[in-house]
């Protein structure tokens, strides 16, 4: 029999909400960029295929945003319900970015409402497209503000804490803490990358299922370019994050890299397994690469876990999360690059079945990479909720009813997950592209050739 | 005025705005379901959908503003409420989750279903009932401190006549406000059959609304005499509120000035909530959290006010844009766009 532990339950409930919310939040931030890009290309080239693409993506997008709104409301309030002590202290500081995040989301929601209902209402060619810009900006800014809150939990600054009371505060210093730039960069690029991967995967799936034509080719080219560009940016952002960690949060990097001894010219350890005596087995050692990744110098000194208090070492299994994130991210770069290389190098067929299949699996891979990355970021902060100031166990609610809340939300998320999938599938099945194309452009064959 | 009073005023504003906008939204959901049940949906639901579709996300945001704002200006209030509201708060979130998603499924999805309409109709009445427990708790006597943390006294909350009076008030107010607004909207759309039905709803819910208001008012006297006496000193505000109530009912009954009637409804709640709020001072949560003593630090309070001001500067023009596109665009309202 386990003792009732409200801290563990609070962590479980928060994790569950975040794992679920991240999917919808990522799509909410990233997909507007692709919709806007498609519409822009369509207007620019006077090609209705791209505009139809934007319209069809938008239809599914609003449903996902709706679920994102409610899961976002949930995590926002759960911060108070599950972490009241944390919010009592940190609320003095982080309520500003939280507040601004809400404004940014509000801005996004208002213009999204305007965007989805005004497709054919304007005379100017670009007028409707302009409405997509505040949607992208609003989504991006809400990601910036919310990420700054998470960054603050990792490198808190801009306040003085005496006991349980904050006695002075500099709100902007807190928002612009050292973790903010690299985290924001990483979050934004990985959102755009993941959304590119998802929409590319859907297109590839349809090509496999219904055969290829011009419409799908245009969609796949656009989405694969976005995926490649942002996969590369995500990798650069990841590198920036590693450099940030090496300086400001060395224990997180050391735990993820199984870097036990502080040393110069540290090896990068990939994959492998850790035995019970903390021995690394079956790993690939890349000489001096960790030093290079940390400071841009093969001989720099990287702080190891030997310099960290034993009770402040994060769980070492985050190494697996880190490896999975990096591997899946690399897969995305590789696949999208392969596709574009084949596209320009005429000897190879970029639409061959195996490549298309590889593009299809890239979508779940990219989303998983995102989830693993967040698990790494959050678990890597343990045991702290506010690094150096407040431990997770001290921040949590003390209530005998947390399991009821957990059960309620579990049912809610299962319900929402199931329904949103069914509804999206039905939405597109009921109005397949072939049918919509024929209604809109009766003079041309599906894909754009003259009848 | 000090930053904490300004902050509290901003919070009050969010609460008032949420009360009006969310009530319209929640009530509309319920009426849409009721119309389906009574086979009147062909008359009503297109009108309701045209109003609701562009605004539903906006409603939720006011609620988030309110709780972030509360915790920002008064972090201790965030602590007390956060600790106490675990279960009621989770229930609110689950209901909001069901309502928001099923609304979207029904409207943006490809099939309309009675189950979806029921889910968002019913949850729309339960959400205000659940949220109102927050106001109930603020009167004091429902929390207990044990082992250094705050716990809600569930039995006390569930057996207290005052808390049920508040729940009753919340539900009937939602239906009353919503019916009144939709009557105005139907009239604007020139939708005669819908206007007739909605007008009858508005009249039907007006008597229960005023009875529930008076009941809750009197119930406060037993729960929190201090607050009650403060409110009696502000009797003229509640008097104005009742006058505006009578005005609203008068116009609806006479079938004219529907716009003015809805403004009367807003003023009715404006003065009632203002009197309630001022009478509540200096406590945010009775006996525990005070406005001045428990406010956040000046630097943060000022920053929040600036963020609030800047946010409004950005939002008000955008809101006006959307309203001109949807709510007040005669062609859109009439369904021609």
Distance CA A192, CA A204 (A): 18
Residue of B nearest to A420 (CA): B105
Q: Chain A residues with CB inside 8 Å of B299's CB?
A: 168-171
A423–B83 C-beta distance less than 8 A:
no
- The predicted pLDDT at position A1 comes to 44
Candidates A13, A73, A416: best to mutate against B (most CBs of B within 10 A) is: A73
Indicate the length of chain A as a whole number. Answer: 451
Burial of A127 (0-12, 13-18, 19+ CB in 10 A): exposed
Report the gap between the CA of B7 and the closest CA in chain A (Å). Answer: 13
**Among A257-261, A402-406, B266-270, whose mean pLDDT is lowest?**
A257-261
Eight-state DSSP code of residue B2: -
pLDDT at A359: 92
Residue of A nearest to B315 (CA): A107
Instruction: Tell me what the mean pLDDT of segment A146-172 comes to.
Output: 88
Which residues of A fall within a CB distance of 8 Å from B333?
none
Report residue B118's pLDDT band, with 50, 70 and 90 as the boundaries.
confident
Residue B294's pLDDT is what?
A: 78
**Which tokens in the block code for residue A92?**
């003095």
Rounded alpha-carbon distances, angstroms, from residue B289 to A430, B15, B282, B285: 55, 18, 9, 5
What is the 8-class DSSP label of residue A233?
Answer: H
Report the candidate in B89, B161, B85, B94 with the shortest Cα–Cα distance to residue B122: B94
Q: Where are the domains of chain B?
A: 3-333
What digits encode the pLDDT tens for the residues B121-159? 888 899 999 999 988 888 888 888 887 788 888 888 888
Query: Could you say which of B78, B87, B318 has the minimum Cβ distance to residue A111?
Result: B318
Angstrom distance (rounded) from CA B101 to CA A415: 10
CB A145, CB A129: distance < 8 Å: no
Distance CA A180, CA A338 (A): 33
Q: What is the pLDDT of residue A258?
A: 86
B279 neighbors B234 (Cβ within 8 angstroms): yes
Question: What is the band of A449 on the pLDDT scale with cuts at 50, 70, 90?
Answer: low
A195 has a pLDDT exceeding 90: yes
Q: Using the predicted structure, report yes or no on whether residue B336 has a pLDDT greater than 70.
A: no
Q: Does B86 touch chain A (CB under 8 A)?
A: yes
Nearest CA to CA, how far is B281 from chain A (Å)?
22
- Residue B96: pLDDT above 50? yes
Token pair, residue B52, equals 């609701």
pLDDT at B185: 86
C-beta of residue A250 within 8 angstroms of C-beta of residue A307: yes
Alpha carbon distance B272, B275 (integer Å) = 5
DSSP A38-71: HHHHHHHTT-HHHHHHHHHHHHHHHHHHHHHHHH
The 3-class secondary structure across A313-348, one letter per residue, is CCCCCHHHHHHHHHHHHHHHHHHHHHHHHHHHCCCC
C-beta atoms of B72 and A91 within 8 A: yes
What are the sequence ranges of the domains in chain A? 20-262+303-440
pLDDT, one tens digit per residue, over A89-139 is: 888 888 889 988 988 888 888 888 888 888 887 888 888 899 899 999 999
Give the 3-state secondary structure of residue A198: helix
Q: What is the pLDDT of residues B175-218, one digit of tens each?
A: 999 999 989 988 888 888 888 888 988 999 999 999 999 998 88
Helix and strand element counts for chain B (H, E): 14, 4
- Judging contacts by C-beta atoms under 8 Å, the chain B residues touching residue A106 are 58, 61, 311, 315
pLDDT number for residue B333: 61
Strand partners, A165: A162
Tally Cβ neighbours within 10 Å of residue A48: 17
CA distance A89 to chain B (A): 7
> Do A110 and B91 make contact, defined as CB atoms within 8 angstroms?
no
Is B104 an interface residue toward A (CB < 8 Å)? yes
Average pLDDT over every residue of B31-55: 75
Q: What is the pLDDT of residues B156-181, one digit of tens each?
A: 888 888 889 999 999 999 999 999 99
Q: Please tell me the distance from the alpha carbon of residue A294 to that of residue A71, in angstroms, as a whole number.
A: 36
Q: How far apart are CA A313 and CA A134, in angstroms?
A: 42
Check CB contact under 8 Å for B57 and A118. Answer: no
Instruction: Spell out the alpha helix ranges (H) of A83-213.
Output: 84-116, 127-130, 132-154, 171-175, 180-210
Map residue A270 onto helix, strand or coil.
Answer: strand
Give dist(CA B223, CA B244) in Å, integer: 27
Facing residue for B78 by CB, picked from A63, A65, A80: A80
Compute the half-sphere exposure of residue B38: CA atoms within 13 Å on the CB side of its CA.
Answer: 10
DSSP A444: B
Q: Exposure pattern of B279-301 as b/e (b: 16+ CB <10 Å)? A: bbeebbbbebbbbeebbbbebbb
Confidence of residue A29 (pLDDT cuts 50, 70, 90): very high
Give the per-residue pLDDT at A99. 87
Comparing CA positions, the residue from A443, A53, A91 lying closest to residue B79 is A91
Specify the pLDDT at position A306: 84
Quote the pLDDT of residue B329.
61
Q: Looking at beta carbons, which residues of chain B come within 8 Å of A111?
A: 318
Taking 80 as the threshold, does the pLDDT of residue B72 lie above it? yes
- What's the whole-number average pLDDT of chain A? 88
Give the pLDDT of residue A220. 92
Give A67-93 pLDDT, tens digit per residue.
888 899 899 899 989 998 888 888 888
Chain B residue with minimal CA distance to A424? B109
Compute the count of residue pairs across chains A and B with CB atoms less than 8 Å apart.
226
Burial code (b: 16+ CB inside 10 Å, e: under 16) for B20-35 equals bbbbbbbbbbbbbbbb
Average pLDDT score over residue span A152-168: 86
pLDDT for A211 equals 81
Choose between A260 and B266: higher pLDDT. Answer: B266
**Tokens 């452009």, residue located:** A441
pLDDT above 90 coverage of chain B, percent: 16
| Nearest CB neighbour to B297, from listed A92, A420, A427 | A92
| Bridge partners (DSSP) listed for residue B64 | none
Distance CA A49, CA A42 (A): 7
Tokens of B174: 């939602």
For the cut 50, the answer to whether the pLDDT of residue B71 exceeds it is yes
How many helices (H) and strands (E) chain A has is answered by 15, 10
pLDDT given at position A46: 86
């Amino acid at each position: 029999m386990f003792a009732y532990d409200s801290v563990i339950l609070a962590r479980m409930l928060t994790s569950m909400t975040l794992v679920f919310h991240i999917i919808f939040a990522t799509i909410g931030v990233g997909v507007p960029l692709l919709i806007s890009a498609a519409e822009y290309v369509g207007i620019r080239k006077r090609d209705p295929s791209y505009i139809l693409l934007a319209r069809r993506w938008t239809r599914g997008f609003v449903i996902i945003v709706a679920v994102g709104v409610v899961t976002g409301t949930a995590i926002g309030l759960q911060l108070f319900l599950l972490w009241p002590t944390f919010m009592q202290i940190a609320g003095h500081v982080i309520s500003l970015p939280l507040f601004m995040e809400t404004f940014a989301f509000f801005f996004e929601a208002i213009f999204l409402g305007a965007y989805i209902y005004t497709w054919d209402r304007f005379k100017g060619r670009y007028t409707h497209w302009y409405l997509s810009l505040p949607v992208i900006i609003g989504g991006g800014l809400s990601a910036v503000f919310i990420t700054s809150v998470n960054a603050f939990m990792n490198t808190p600054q801009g306040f003085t804490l005496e006991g349980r009371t904050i006695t002075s505060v500099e709100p902007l210093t807190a928002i612009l803490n050292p973790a903010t730039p690299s985290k924001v960069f990483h979050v934004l690029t990985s959102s755009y990358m993941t959304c590119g991967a998802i929409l590319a995967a859907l297109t590839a799936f349809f090509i496999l299922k219904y055969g290829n034509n011009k419409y799908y080719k245009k969609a796949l080219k656009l989405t694969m370019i976005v995926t490649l560009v942002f996969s590369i940016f995500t990798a650069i952002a990841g590198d920036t994050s590693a450099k940030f960690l090496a300086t400001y949060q060395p224990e997180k990097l050391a735990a993820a890299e199984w870097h036990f001894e502080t040393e110069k010219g540290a090896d990068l350890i990939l994959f492998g397994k850790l035995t019970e005596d903390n021995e690394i087995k079956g790993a690939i050692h890349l000489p001096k690469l960790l030093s290079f990744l940390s400071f841009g110098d093969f001989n720099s000194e990287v702080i190891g876990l030997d310099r960290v208090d034993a009770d402040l070492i994060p769980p070492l299994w985050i190494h697996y999360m880190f490896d999975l994130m990096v591997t899946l991210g690399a897969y995305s770069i590789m696949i999208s690059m392969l596709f574009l290389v084949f596209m320009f190098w005429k000897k190879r067929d970029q639409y061959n079945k195996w490549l298309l299949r590889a593009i299809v699996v890239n979508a779940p891979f990219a989303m998983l990479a995102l989830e693993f990355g967040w698990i790494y970021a959050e678990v890597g902060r343990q045991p702290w909720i506010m690094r150096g100031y407040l431990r997770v166990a001290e921040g949590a609610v003390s209530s005998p009813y947390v399991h009821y809340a957990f059960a309620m939300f579990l049912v809610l998320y299962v319900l929402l997950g199931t329904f949103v999938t069914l509804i999206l599938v039905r939405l597109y099945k009921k109005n397949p592209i072939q049918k919509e194309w024929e209604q809109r452009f009766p003079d041309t064959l599906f894909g754009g050739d003259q009848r | 005025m000090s930053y904490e009073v300004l902050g509290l005023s901003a919070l009050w504003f969010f609460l008032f705005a949420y009360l009006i906008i969310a009530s319209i939204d929640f009530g509309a959901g319920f009426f849409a379901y009721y119309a389906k049940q009574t086979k009147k949906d062909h008359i009503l639901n297109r009108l309701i959908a045209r109003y609701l579709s562009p605004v539903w996300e906006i409603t939720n945001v006011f609620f988030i503003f309110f709780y972030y704002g509360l915790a920002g200006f008064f972090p201790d209030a965030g602590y007390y409420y956060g600790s106490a509201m675990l279960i009621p708060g989770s229930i609110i979130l689950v209901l909001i989750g069901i309502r928001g998603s099923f609304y979207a499924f029904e409207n943006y999805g490809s099939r309309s279903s009675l189950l979806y309409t029921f889910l968002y109709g019913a949850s729309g009445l339960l959400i205000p009932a659940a949220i109102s427990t927050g106001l109930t708790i603020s009167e004091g006597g429902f929390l207990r401190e044990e082992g250094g943390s705050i716990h809600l006294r569930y039995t006390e909350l569930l057996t207290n006549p005052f808390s049920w009076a508040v729940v009753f008030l919340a539900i009937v107010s939602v239906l009353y406000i919503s019916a009144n607004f939709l009557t105005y909207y139907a009239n604007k759309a020139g939708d005669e059959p819908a206007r007739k039905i909605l007008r009858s709803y508005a009249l039907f819910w007006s008597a229960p609304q005023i009875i529930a208001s008076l009941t809750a008012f009197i119930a406060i006297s037993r729960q929190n005499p201090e607050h009650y006496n403060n409110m009696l000193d502000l009797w003229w505000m509640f008097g104005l509120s009742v006058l505006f109530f009578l005005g609203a009912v008068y116009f609806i009954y006479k079938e004219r000035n529907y716009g003015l009637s809805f403004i009367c409804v807003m003023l009715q709640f404006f003065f009632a909530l203002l009197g309630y709020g001022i009478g509540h001072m200096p406590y945010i949560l009775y006996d525990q959290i005070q406005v001045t003593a428990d406010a956040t630090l000046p630097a943060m309070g000022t920053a929040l006010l600036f963020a609030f001001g800047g946010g409004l500067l950005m939002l008000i023009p955008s809101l006006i844009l959307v309203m001109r596109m949807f709510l007040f665009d005669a062609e859109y309202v009439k369904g021609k766009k």
